[in-house]
Structure 1
Amino acid sequence: MLSGVRSLCKGWSVRGMSLSPRQINRWPSNESSEPPTDSPRVLITGAICFPAQYGKENVILSDIRRPPTEVYNMGPFVYADVLDYKNLRELVVNNRITWLNCLRLFVPSTIGAFGPSSPRDPAPDLCIQRPRTIYGVSKVHAELMGEYLHHKYGLDFRCLRYPGVVSAHTKPGGGTTDYAVQIFHDALSTGHHECYLRSNTRLPTMHISDCHRATIEFMQAPESQLSLRTYNIAAMSFTPEEVVEEIRKHLPHLRVTYNPDTIRQTIADSWPVRFDDSNARQDWGWKPAYGLSELVTDMLASIPEKNNNARFLPSGTPTPPGMRSDGGA
């Protein structure tokens, strides 16, 4: 899941600042010291999402942890602790972050913000939540704090509740929805997957590309179009059984066994079966691009394991150089 606070600010630039370790000066020396006016300078904390349309040099990624190589190579990266106000002010000034006068704050939420007493099929934007995990409790706290700051001080707070997110470039971390990532790695590396959820456990899921696009479109939507501060977004909802059948259209020999884990199964059974994202679709035009078949095709084509074991490649995929068609070196 996406984590951390992503903040976007509007309308400030500063001349004549001296260089410091927290300043990234990427402007050519023969040009004006002002950043281009047609593209904002964006500070992203958590270093996960990258709004590519603004240009690599205009997006400053930050985190309190050492970034993975792929994140570090995306563009400028700085250390930033969102609890350190002085540090954040220095970053904004020295890196000429724009979108500041009317602060726009985005905090990602999750399917985990719902609990067993919430409506499950579908879960609406506004309902009883009462999650039973500390992860979910912390997300509900963030949602409510944002709502409070919006109503009390006019903060342009925005929040999306993401379903399970599937990406070929992020290893599964053991979360409840991560079987939907691990199964692709297993399908391409060994041809066997042991699922820790029951075969009929239905959960909302989304491709990472839709996740990124939804975030950017939501942040760009005029505030006047928003009827809510926190929205559900949805793309598809499937069971392990259904994703297995879709994968078998490409890899017919995939073998799957089921060994439900009590803790993760209990969590999954307390979460929504489907998200109602009708408000996101109506207010700011949200529409997913990936369904189950598109997700499966993309994952099988993109996961690195496809280069390690040719026996499980989808039919018609060229065998990598130096590897026999039977998987031997």
Structure 2
Amino acid sequence: MKRILVTGAGGQIGSELVPYLRSIYGESNVLATDVKAPEGDLAQGPFDLLDVRDGRRASELIGAFKADTVIHMAGILSAKGEENPNFAWDINVNGTVAMLEAAREHRCAFFFPSSIAAFGPTTPRVNTPQDTIQRPTTVYGIAKASMEMLCDYYHLKFNLDTRGLRFPGLISYVTPPGGGTTDYAVHIYYDAITKGSYTSFIAKGTYMDMMYMPDALEAIVQLMEADPSKLKHRNAFNISAMSFDPEEIAQSIRKVIPDFKLEYDVDPLRQSIAESWPDSLDCSAAREEWGFAPKYDLDRMTVHMLEKLKERLVKA
């Protein structure tokens, strides 16, 4: 990667990915795009407005910027998608198709972020294989599974350099939660500091794969810079750093905040979504094909998360 266009730059991942990429490749070599004007770090470098459904505009931006890589992060998350399925499909599918076509026109490498939501209730739940039955039951998951296959198709049919990751829940102290089912694992840290307690919308005993954002950002770059001859899968690599339920994350927080209290008020929608996803992922393909190796486990993440959040909340 030398010249990179990022869609959805103001979103959960994009808002941290853009500064990370600029620190590696240079500020002028990363074009951030979104449907809204930039804020914070995004305003410090190249930015253009882009609705990802507008393929002509996307192609114009790619050509003018002379991008060699498109990192397509724009999308509607799981719980928000269930509130408005037609809009979620439009953005998550039609937007991805438009960006794939623009990338194909300019022969750009293309990154697509899939998700554990691409799996469904009939998927093996424990140590979920890289290649297995998927059959998701949310519009978000159906779109992700569909685009995984379409990215494979663009590589096979058009020899486009498509690559992608199946992200677990991502935890960050920088970006507020954006309507995902795994967002409780972000909210809990905020409330631990500000309230000393948290009421979880996910039930006790519900395990989901998670990853700390610094590991996720590194994984994107690592995959996109990997030797293509070693990539047997290319798209939708399982990646994860940890799997826990609400009780275990609460126990980790109590090692730093001993009086922290956890209660429950389960949201049926988000609980049903969580129960359709795996408990844990087999990440061996990512390790073997491009050296995936996350640095943060639950306790290390908790210490760092609470430290950074305290700094941010004090400044606020």
Superposition TM-score tier, normalisation by shorter sequence: 0.7 to 0.9
Tell me the CA shift for residue 306 of structure 1.
6.4
1:70-91 Cα shifts (integer Å, max 9, x gaps): 4323x21111233334323332
Q: For residues 312 and 4 of structure 2, what CA distance do their matches in structure 1 show?
A: 35
Contact 2:164–2:237 (Cα < 8 Å) also in 1: yes
2:291 paired residue among 280, 285, 292: 285
| Equivalent runs, 1:1-329 vs 2, <5 Å | 40-47=2-9, 48=14, 49-50=17-18, 51=21, 52-73=23-44, 75-98=45-68, 102-229=107-234, 230-303=236-309, 307-308=313-314
Partner SS state of residue 129, structure 1: coil
Tell me the CA shift for residue 188 of structure 1.
0.5
Instruction: Letter of the 1:79 partner, please give it.
Output: L
Compared CA separation, residues 190 and 124, structure 1 to 2 (3 A): same
Q: For residues 90 and 121 of structure 1, what CA distance do their matches in structure 2 show?
A: 45
Q: CA RMSD in A?
A: 1.8
Q: For residues 174 and 182 of structure 1, what CA distance do their matches in structure 2 show?
A: 11
How many positions carry a matched residue from both structures?
A: 270
Tell me the CA shift for residue 166 of structure 1.
0.1
Quote the sequence identity (%).
40
Tell me the CA shift for residue 44 of structure 1.
1.2
Q: Which runs of 5+ in 2 are unaligned?
A: 70-102
1:17-56 Cα shifts (integer Å, max 9, x gaps): xxxxxxxxxxxxxxxxxxxxxxx12111121022121011
Contact 1:116–1:270 (Cα < 8 Å) also in 2: yes
Instruction: Letter of the 2:305 partner, please give it.
Output: M
- TM-score, with structure 1 as normaliser: 0.78
Q: For residues 298 and 95 of structure 1, what CA distance do their matches in structure 2 show?
A: 37
Tell me the CA shift for residue 267 of structure 1.
1.3
Q: Which moved more, 1:227-236 or 1:89-98?
A: 89-98
Q: For residues 79 and 259 of structure 1, what CA distance do their matches in structure 2 show?
A: 39
- TM-score, with structure 2 as normaliser: 0.81
Q: For residues 199 and 276 of structure 1, what CA distance do their matches in structure 2 show?
A: 23
Q: For residues 39 and 123 of structure 2, what CA distance do their matches in structure 1 show?
A: 36
Q: Which runs of 5+ in 1 are unaligned?
A: 1-7, 9-39, 309-319, 321-329
Partner SS state of residue 237, structure 1: strand
